[in-house]
Amino acid sequence: MTEKTPPSADDEQTTQPVLDLLAEHVPLALIVDLVTPEATSAQILESEGLPESTWWDEEPRAQDS
């Protein structure tokens, strides 16, 4: 069994922007298209399917002040 090494500061610096995008609810398929154009969102959609909620068709909600 091989032991995993903890991520280096360089690894964390590289992955943090992606984690930030995910935290902002940017779809993973879009992130993949942006960082690795060889894998398309169509391929991801085929393997994962559509989400249960079509949030992109919903009316925008008023933001709380």
SS3 (DSSP) at 55? helix
SS3 (DSSP) at 50? coil
**Domains of the chain: which residue ranges?**
16-47
Residue 54 CA to its chain's centroid (Å) = 17
Q: Is the pLDDT confidence value at 37 over 70?
A: no
pLDDT tens digits, 12-35: 677 888 899 999 999 888 888 777
Both tokens of 60, joined, read 């925008």
Question: Which residue's structure tokens are 């085929």?
Answer: 46
The reply to whether the predicted model has a pTM over 0.75 is no
